[in-house]
Structure 1
């Protein structure tokens, strides 16, 4: 029995390497070119202000400190987003909508199941995490977190920096940003997120003649391009000496980004 459980864990862990491909869900392509409607993300911002802890190499979340009142505020924020029709938003508002929705829903999943050591403990017995579970309904369509990331954000915007702004509540993940996304700050936050991750040890960690990279660059290699293209991308944001991607290893820490 112990052997079976160990083998199952290894198989599930290995499946994370075969990350979902960008597979467009055409329904979500529609947008309003001239609509100036703005989405209110202030509730999400207040939770970030109150519970996010920004450290030099890592941001953490005070899950254990979140009050019942603030859990209600998070639920209300998600319900308000679910009432909106993203088709009626312009492209910039849509991007902020989907990123904030993904990150806020991830925090809710952790709070609903807290305490736990890793988000990978969620989901069914044969699941590695909750990402395929239908956890939201938008425009009458049941959505999973994987739907938002891999069927909406990645194929519509085709920007590798998306991987730096959707947060999986893990220490190895690019940090949850202290600012909620809006139509006006999206480009600044994308650049800030890329810079912060690439200059963190969990993102890019030169070790002599070797470089340890986040597994994100392995799982989503198609989004970052060839080794030469990835090297150029990394050096664009590096604040120290440029790196050369020769001998490369990959690592990822699935422990919860919990501020104890």
Structure 2
């Protein structure tokens, strides 16, 4: 009896310790000002993405060519021909070779974590807040993958108990967060389990939603998420008609709480974006099976070992003639990363996300809010400043 009491006491103390270590999220993370005109500047992150993301083009069911190996060797790269070309790619190899570029991403990450200390999130519109959390999430993913690249397969790195999604890698207003905390404790709660938000959380592997060639903003976040959903669902990494079965990504199974009646709710969701012929395949399949996975890192060529020849033998290495920064966002190819290195590093050392005038106004509002102990509703700052 005494032994059982001791075990129970230890478990109680342990449970209470875990609960005590869980910090309560600030209430203002879950409010909004629908009239707000405050926007967050992501020029630095946008610059990185336009310089480093290679667009995969429209989603396709075509299979990739198999690697036949180089002359003089029987060694070949192994990859899934159904999914290897799916989704946008990121130029991790250049970041591996250019420490100042890696440092720039870390600087952007630190800067984004400080945004809610400059302006309370409930002083922003909901779409502006959604863009903020998605950009922060994706910057952290790129920054963390930079630390382990050229690791090719990311399943353990992402899903381990102390992996990318579970580690407390973010601190916002003194609250330590994991990427799963951002998804499940912030976004899922604030946006009522909206499945569309899933497509904004890039996780670094082919079987996850794509990283985009521009930063999310309050103005573009909804249409960009819709485009990402269409891309994912109509590519082989998201769904695949297979006769009597309709295959879907395990990504959906890992996020099954967004689809309480998994088959019915997921089917209805997929039909919003699937092409006509694939909708027919889904309707006529005898069962839906979650079995698609591709944990390959979404780099351009660096993790594909080149057997028996120089790097110039690699078809991916023939991406050589990259265009300069400045083309239309979603159309230009990868930019000259040497140019990116010098130009961005000088800009992002101490990046300000609000104008000096707005920062002064936000400090005044914060002080007024603290003095009144009430809630400040931010009106049209431009209009108000003109009146003053």
In the superposition, the TM-score normalised over structure 1's length comes to 0.83
1:183 corresponds, among 213, 218, 226, to 218
| Residue 235 (structure 1) shift | 1.5
The yes-or-no answer on 1:160 pairing with 2:195 is yes
* Structure 2: tracts of 5 or more residues without a match: 1-23, 58-85, 302-388
TM-score by length of 2: 0.57
**Structure 1 equivalent of residue 109 of structure 2:** 78
Alignment match, 1:51? 52
Deviates more, 1:96-105 or 1:106-115: 106-115
SS of the counterpart of 2:176?
Answer: strand
Alignment pair present for 1:141 and 2:141? no
Judged with a 3 Å threshold, the aligned counterparts in structure 2 of structure 1 residues 123 and 196 are, in CA distance, closer, same or farther, namely closer
Is 1:64–2:93 an aligned residue pair?
yes
CA distance change for structure 1 residues 234 and 123 in 2, over 3 Å: closer, same or farther? Answer: closer
Deviation readout 1:1-57 (Å, 9 max, x if unpaired): xxxxxxxxxxxxxxxxxxxxxxx9563313344432211111111111111112143
Partner of residue 240, structure 2: 205
Distance in 2 of aligned mates of 1:228 and 1:123? 28
Partner of 1:234: 270
- For 2:252 and 2:157, the matched residues in 1 are separated by 24
Taking a change above 3 Å as real, the CA distance of residues 89 and 153 of structure 1, as seen in their structure-2 partners, is same
Q: Could you tell me how far apart the structure 1 residues matched to 2:113 and 2:25 are?
A: 18
Q: RCO higher in 1 or 2 (8 Å CA, sep ≥ 6)?
A: 2
Which residue matches 2:300? Answer: 259
- Residue 247 of structure 1: aligned partner: 287
Shift of 1:142: 0.9
For 2:139, the equivalent position in structure 1 comes to: 104
The offset of 1:179, in angstroms, is: 2.2
Larger Rg over CA atoms: 2
CA-atom RMSD in angstroms: 2.2
- 8 Å CA contact retained: 2:113, 2:170: yes
1:166 deviation in Å? 0.2
Partners of 1:120 and 1:130 within 8 A in 2: no
**Mean alpha-carbon deviation: is it higher for 138-147 or for 80-89?**
80-89
Structure 1, gaps ≥5 residues long: 1-23
Partners of 2:199 and 2:230 lie apart in 1 by 9
Deviation of 1:90 after TM superposition, in Å, equals 2.5
Partner of 2:208: 173
Count of residue pairs brought into register by the alignment = 236
Q: Deviations over 1:146-169 (max 9, x none)?
A: 111111111111210111110110
